Structure 1
Amino acid sequence: MFFSILLLIEIMSGQNSKINGVSFVSSRVKIDSTHTKPVVTTLGANYATVMPFGFVSTISTPEIAFNGRRQWVGERRAGAKQYALALREQNLKIMIKPQLWIARGQYTGFINMTTEDDWSKFETSYTAFILEYAELAQEINAPLFCIGTELENFVKMRPAYWTSLIKKIKTIYKGQLTYAANWDEFKRTPFWSELDYIGIDAYFPVSEEQTPTIEACIEGWKTHKAVIKEYALKYNKPILFTEYGYRSVDFSGKEPWRSDRELNQVNMQAQVNTTKALYETFWDEDWFAGGFIWKWFYNYSTSGGESNSQFTPQNKPVEAVIKQYYKQYSK
C-alpha cells in the first residue's frame, strides 16, 4: 500500500526519479571530500552504498570474523561510519550493505554447514554481524539497509531463521530494508513481502556479441524484464538493483557476473552499449526504484582508465553515459 501511494504521487507529479547510486568500495584509508566529490561531480549520483565486511574461511566455516583490527578501515564499523558521514557531506544518501567474503573468493551463495550444530553457530554469528551494522544504519539514519548479499543456499536451507532475523533487525533499524539476491536467485527468495524493496544484483546475460549493440541488449533484456516486473507486481514492491554494471571487455553482456582476469580484452564500447541498454530498459519504469553501479574506488584519479578491463566506470567513456541518465532521473 505504501509503495502504491508513493507511485501514485510520482505519476501525478509527472516525475520518475530514481535511486542513482554507486557502490563505494572499502579501502585501507579514511576518506575525505577529495574522494567523495567525484561521485557527485562526475556521475551526479544521489546515493552511495557503504560495504563493511565479514570474513569466513570456507563455505562450511560456522564463524564470521568482523570488525577486527586487521581489517581495512572501510571494512570495520568505525570506518564504515566515517565513510558514510563523509559521503553524506556531499548530500549523498546512504545504503549500508554488510557483505561476507570467503577465502580465495569462493561464492557466498554456496555457504553450507555440514551439521545442525554448525548451522546454529553460523546463524548466531551472522546475526551478530548483521545487527552490528543495523545498529550503525540506525545511528547514522541511513535510509536503506541491506540484510544480506547473494546467500542463496543459506536462505534456502534456513528460511525460518531469516524470518526471525528480519524481525530482530526491525527492532533496531527503522528505515527501509532490502536483500541483494543474485540475478538467478531472486525468484526463489521467500521473504520479499517482509522487505521494502526487491533487491537484485543484476548481472543478467543479455547478449553473446563481442561488442554487443544497444539494440541487441535491449532485446536480450525482454524475457528477464518481464519476470522482474512480474515480481514487482506480485509483491507490490519496487525493484532495486542492489548492484549492476558491466566490465569494459569483449562479450561484456554474455556473462556479466564474471570478474576473473582471464577476461582482459579491453572494449570500452561494449561497456557503453550494455550500460545504455540497461538504462533504456529500466530507468523509465514506475515499478523500478533505481540501483547502484558496481563499483567505485576512493582514489578517483588513479582508478579505471582506458586500459582497465574491470567493472569500474571511473575515467572511462561510460562515465558520461551514467551521468546523462542520473541527471535525467535525479531524486
Structure 2
Amino acid sequence: MRRFWLLIMVIVLQVSCNSQTEKINGISFVGGRDIVDASHIRPVLDINANWACLMPFGFMRTIDAPQITFDVERQWWGERKVGVETTAKLFQDKGVKVMVKPQIWVWRGEFTGTIQMNNEEDWRAFEKHYTDFILSYAKLAETLNAEMFCIGTELHETVKARPAFWRALIKKVRKVYKGKLTYAENWDTFDNVPFWNELDYIGVDAYFPLSEEKTPTIESLKTGWQKHKAIIKEVSQKVDRPVLFTEYGYRSVDYAGSKPWDSSRANSKVNLEAQTNGLQALYSEFWNEDWFAGGFVWKWFDYHDRAGGSNNSRFTPQNKPAEILIREHYKAH
C-alpha cells in the first residue's frame, strides 16, 4: 500500500510539473500577399513553436474616422478570411495551435492607442463597425476550432472612453466563439484595463523599456525587468488570470532595450547580440513563472529563406542568432 501511494504521489508531481512547463511558445505569423502552403509552415515547426498567431487586418483612414474596412480584395491574401482559414488549417494539421488576432491599421501607421471619436454619433458608428469586424472573425475562429481569439490590440483610448462597449462585446463574442479569449494591451496601459476578469488571459504587448546600454547585457536587462515584472504579477494576482505576452520581441539594433516598441528606421545600426540578449533575459525572467502563460514573438514572415538575416535590423528573428535561441528555448519548454 505504501508503494502504491508513493507511485500516486510521483504521478501527481509529474503532472504538476508538466502543467507548469507547458507554455505557449508562439510566433506572430505575418499575413502576406502570397498564398502559403506547407513549405511556409515548416520553418515554424523547426523552431519548436506550438502556437501561431494569425492577424487579419481592418483599416481606418484616420484615428477619428468610424469606418473600418476589412476582408476586401485589395488587401493582402494573408490579411483576409481566405488567408486566415488556409493558414490556420496548415498549422493545425501539424499540431500547432492557433490564435486569431484581428488588428486595425490606421492610415500612415498612426498608433491605434490614440483612436478616439469626436462625438457620440461617431462613437456609436465606430462601435458598430468594430463589432462587425470582430464578430466576423470570431465566427471564423469558431469554425476553424482556433484555440484562442483576441478581441482587440492596443486600443487604450477606446477602452478608457467606452468600457461598457467592451464588456458588451465580450458577451457577444462568447455567444459565437467557445475558445479562450484575450485582449492585447500596450505595455504602458495594460494595468488600466477594467475587464481582465471577463477574459481568460491578460494580454500584454511586452515592449517594456529595460536598459539604456548600447549592447545591453542579460543581467542589466533582467534588472530592468524587476519593476515591470512586479506590476505584471500584481495585476495577474488581482484579477486571478494568467499573463500572456500577445507580442514580445526586440529589434536587432543598438540600444534595443531602450525603446523596444520603436519600429522606425531612425536607428538601424545592426546589433544581433542586443536582440539575442533581450530575448534571453525575457525568457529567464518569465518562462518559469506559474502565473505566466507564454507568448508570441514578433514577428515571423512566410518567406523564411529571404527574411531577416545578419544585415537586418528589424524585429524578425529569422536567420539570425535569435532564431537559434528561440529554437532551443522552445524545445526546452
Q: TM range, normalised to the smaller chain?
A: over 0.9
* Residues 252-263 of structure 1: pairs in structure 2 closer than 5 A: 252-263=256-267
TM-score by length of 1: 0.95
Q: Cα gap change, 1:14/1:239 in structure 2, threshold over 3 Å: closer, same or farther?
A: closer
Report Cα offsets for 1:148-197 as digits up to 9, x if no partner.
00000011111100010000000000000000000001110010010000
Q: Cα gap change, 1:10/1:59 in structure 2, threshold over 3 Å: closer, same or farther?
A: farther
Task: Answer whether contact 1:37 1:90 (CA < 8 A) is retained.
Answer: no
Cα distance in 1 for residues equivalent to 2:186 and 2:20? 29
Cα distance in 1 for residues equivalent to 2:275 and 2:230? 23
Find the partner of 1:83 among 79, 84, 87.
Answer: 87
Q: Cα gap change, 1:238/1:59 in structure 2, threshold over 3 Å: closer, same or farther?
A: same
Find the partner of 1:27 among 23, 32, 57.
Answer: 32
The answer for the alignment partner of 1:56 in structure 2 is 60
Task: Answer whether contact 2:20 2:290 (CA < 8 A) is retained.
Answer: no
Q: If you compute each CA radius of gyration, which structure gives the higher value, 1 or 2?
A: 2
* Residues 118-129 of structure 1: pairs in structure 2 closer than 5 A: 118-129=122-133
Task: Answer whether contact 1:49 1:94 (CA < 8 A) is retained.
Answer: yes
The answer for the alignment partner of 2:293 in structure 1 is 289
Report Cα offsets for 1:20-41 as digits up to 9, x if no partner.
0000001111111110100011
Find the partner of 1:161 among 128, 151, 165.
Answer: 165
Q: Cα gap change, 1:10/1:256 in structure 2, threshold over 3 Å: closer, same or farther?
A: farther
Shift of 1:83: 1.2
Moved over 6 A (4+): none
Find the partner of 2:78 among 74, 81, 84.
Answer: 74
Find the partner of 2:324 among 286, 306, 320.
Answer: 320
Task: Answer whether contact 2:28 2:300 (CA < 8 A) is retained.
Answer: yes
Identity of aligned residues (%): 55
Shift of 1:90: 2.1
Cα distance in 1 for residues equivalent to 2:268 and 2:183? 31
Task: Answer whether contact 1:246 1:275 (CA < 8 A) is retained.
Answer: yes
Find the partner of 1:16 among 21, 31, 35.
Answer: 21
CA RMSD in angstroms comes to: 1.2
Q: Which structure 2 segments of 5+ residues have no match?
A: 1-12
The answer for the alignment partner of 2:221 in structure 1 is 217
Q: What is the letter of the counterpart of residue 232 of structure 2?
A: I
Cα distance in 2 for residues equivalent to 1:10 and 1:232? 23
Cα distance in 2 for residues equivalent to 1:105 and 1:14? 40
Shift of 1:320: 1.1
Find the partner of 1:39 among 41, 44, 47.
Answer: 44
Task: Answer whether contact 1:209 1:253 (CA < 8 A) is retained.
Answer: yes
Q: Which structure 1 segments of 5+ residues have no match?
A: 1-7
The answer for the alignment partner of 2:236 in structure 1 is 232
The answer for the alignment partner of 1:309 in structure 2 is 313
Shift of 1:321: 0.9
Cα distance in 2 for residues equivalent to 1:210 and 1:155? 35
Task: Answer whether contact 1:56 1:64 (CA < 8 A) is retained.
Answer: yes
Q: What is the letter of the counterpart of residue 62 of structure 2?
A: T
Shift of 1:138: 0.2
Q: What is the letter of the counterpart of residue 99 of structure 1?
A: Q
The total of aligned residue pairs comes to 321
Q: What is the letter of the counterpart of residue 110 of structure 2?
A: Q
Note if 1:199 corresponds to 2:208.
no
Task: Answer whether contact 1:295 1:313 (CA < 8 A) is retained.
Answer: yes
SS across alignment from 1:179:
strand
Cα distance in 1 for residues equivalent to 2:40 and 2:198? 36
